[in-house]
Chain A
Amino acid sequence: MVRIYVTRCLPEDSVSLLQKTGLEVLMRSTDDAVPREELINGISGCTALICMLTDKIDKEVLDAAGPNLKVIATVSVGFDHINLDECRKRNILVSNTPRVSTDAVAELTVGLLLATSRRLMECVNAVKNGDWKSWGLLWMCGTELRGSSVGIFGLGRIGIAIAARLQSFGVKQFYYTDIVEVPQASKFGAEKVDLDNLLSKSDFVIINCALTAETRGLFNEETFAKMKKNSFLINAARGGVINQKDLYKALTSGTIRGAGLDVTDPEPMEKDDPLLTLNNCVILPHIGSNTIETRTEMANLAVNNVLAALDGKALLTQVPY
């Protein structure tokens, strides 16, 4: 008897997809992390698991599942929470949801950039606090993208999508730093430069790299010193790339003008973090892919991976062991 166990409440569309199959589905009714004991009970005897990155799928959980378990589909790009080795041993297929969130993240990054350069959060608060009465011609004036230089550190799919969106705002010059030549860079006339040049030439620096041993803490005091004084730093990639204590110093000493972060280290960020006291620092709670459309697409992809596995077909987005 085939049973699918889902550790979170899924969006309506995905639930319909599952219901159409007529298969037995055991799904948690809320959108919060399933407690470990409930996970171990729920997974027992199931054929397929749809989980989130908050669910640690280790040897103990796989043992509790039993021999029926054929496929694990995580609704995330990352799969650090899954013991791939143990899955391989037990012939359990694993899938993730890569490449679905490019548009949502690129869109959010541009929104974050504008929120930083045009001081949008400061303005929302000024309206709420009654500070609008201080209006003057130079009150709350921000900085335009028109005529500026934009430097992208890591020109992958998301970096390219961001550049495509910024291009029509009158950016004068794009730069990028990457370990490879990126052919699509020519669409924006983007010049490939090393990091030092990117930092010294860019009015907007956008971090788009993966978090690796090389990039962890890369943006530190030394790096900020190489940036332009009127520049903005935008990070929607991984929080660990930035040394946050050094960022605080850079923002309060006029070393750089402002920063916008959708990712921090750790996540969630503590509500009394000093960065949150700064007017020139905008922080969002990692909502890059938080659109109904993209999260639904991610959940649907997980469901479809499961259905493919149950059908004996190739997975759509298999994680190789």
Chain B
Amino acid sequence: MAKRIYIATDLPDGVKQKFLNLSSEVKIKDGDGIVSKEQLLENVVGCHALVCTFKDTVDVDVLNAAGPQLKVICTISVGYDHIDVAECKKRNIMIGHTPGVLSDAVAELTIGLLLTTTRRLAEGLDAVKRGEWGPFSLMWLCGTQLSGRTIGIVGLGKIGLAIAERLVPFGVGRIIYSGRTEKSEASKFNGTFVDFTELLQESDIVIICCALTPETKGLFNQETFSKMKNTSIMINISRGPVVNQDDLYTALTTGQIQAAGLDVTTPEPFPTDHPLMKLKNCVIFPHIGSATVDTRTEMIMRSFYNLQAGLKGERLPFSVY
């Protein structure tokens, strides 16, 4: 019996055929745009395998709609907070993800987001387009420099480490980090392990790199912002729900912190009329951390290997559990 596979995302031409060759019953989503909940429920019926992205919520409804023959879910992402892992474990459904390939792309994007925020690049381009670029002014559109700044990294995983390594040549001051345990790799950049409160109090730039868990949900709230320097800049590249957005809005508009750069929000896509959108000191990117042709292709290939193994009932090369 042919294995039915639903792929809830468009695939680049170069790799599409590989997936199509895995079975005679492969359905691939057409074109851009996110698969709706209804479309997902409809298309998973009778599937043995599901390939999805972090945009697709794979909950009990979806697992029930699929049926008991569903054996493997491959998410083209590192994070898997969009999948009900506990429920999958109960049903013996394997879950594959794509760790290890996107650290460089995400770290690079984080530096881009940081510089866009500290050096006010979006404001700059906007000023040119509006004809607001006038003759020389000493203090117009001045940003803050990275030289000598204390950087605080919340969660020193692969991505946090890659960010720290890229920041060193910018002449930053201390790099400190918080998390559950001390990391030996921190010696690569003379990083110091501190508790969360000390990180908030000491840092000029706070970069959030931790996973989204019940402990980190809403971690950045009114109380957190009140401990930060009011000249500080907050960068979030982890997951939107780690930051309480209402409290962030208050912090940014009352001078509790100076500016924020977000590559992740709640929800995604972010509504165009959200109050944070109107703030000049809040930069918002549409979750493009891993958005490079090379990295996305590598992630897709990892999912392919997960899928291939899962269809054979073998252990996945990149398994969530």
Contacts and interface: CB of A to CB of B under 8 A. Distances in A.
B122 A124 contact: yes
A165 interface: yes
Given A132-B268, A292-B139, A145 B277 contact: no
B277 A127 contact: yes
B144 interface: yes
Nearest to B115: A111
Contact of A138 (B104, B146, B283, B296): B296
Interface in A46-67: 52-54
Contacts of A53: 136
A115 B142 contact: no
A189 interface: no
Interface in B177-209: none
Given A127-B277, A269-B133, A291 B144 contact: yes
Given A144-B294, A165-B169, A135 B55 contact: yes
A2 interface: no
B228 to A, nearest CB: 19
A130 B165 CA distance: 34
Nearest to A134: B32
Contacts of A112: 121
Contact of B130 (A11, A271, A286): A271
B108 A110 contact: no
Interface string A121-151: 1011011111011111111111111110000
Interface in B36-68: 53, 55
A138 B53 CA distance: 12
A165 to B, nearest CB: 5
Contacts of B296: 137-138, 141
Contacts of B119: 107-108, 111, 287, 290-291
B58 to A, nearest CB: 17
Contacts, number: 220
Interface residues of A, number: 73
A170 B269 contact: no
A241 interface: no
Interface stretch (B19-27, B241-249, B285-293): B285-293
Given A123-B285, A143-B293, A33 B136 contact: yes
A24 interface: no
B2 interface: no
A314 interface: no
Contacts of A107: 115, 119, 145-147, 170
B177 to A, nearest CB: 17
A276 B126 CA distance: 10
Contact of A285 (B128, B272, B288): B128
A283 B119 CA distance: 14
A92 B171 CA distance: 38
The 6 A-B pairs at the shortest CB distance, nearest first, are namely A111-B115, A114-B112, A132-B269, A271-B131, A268-B133, A136-B32
Interface of B: 9-12, 31-34, 53, 55, 76, 104-105, 108-109, 111-113, 115-116, 119-122, 124-125, 127-131, 133-147, 165-166, 168-171, 268-270, 272, 277, 283-288, 291-296, 300
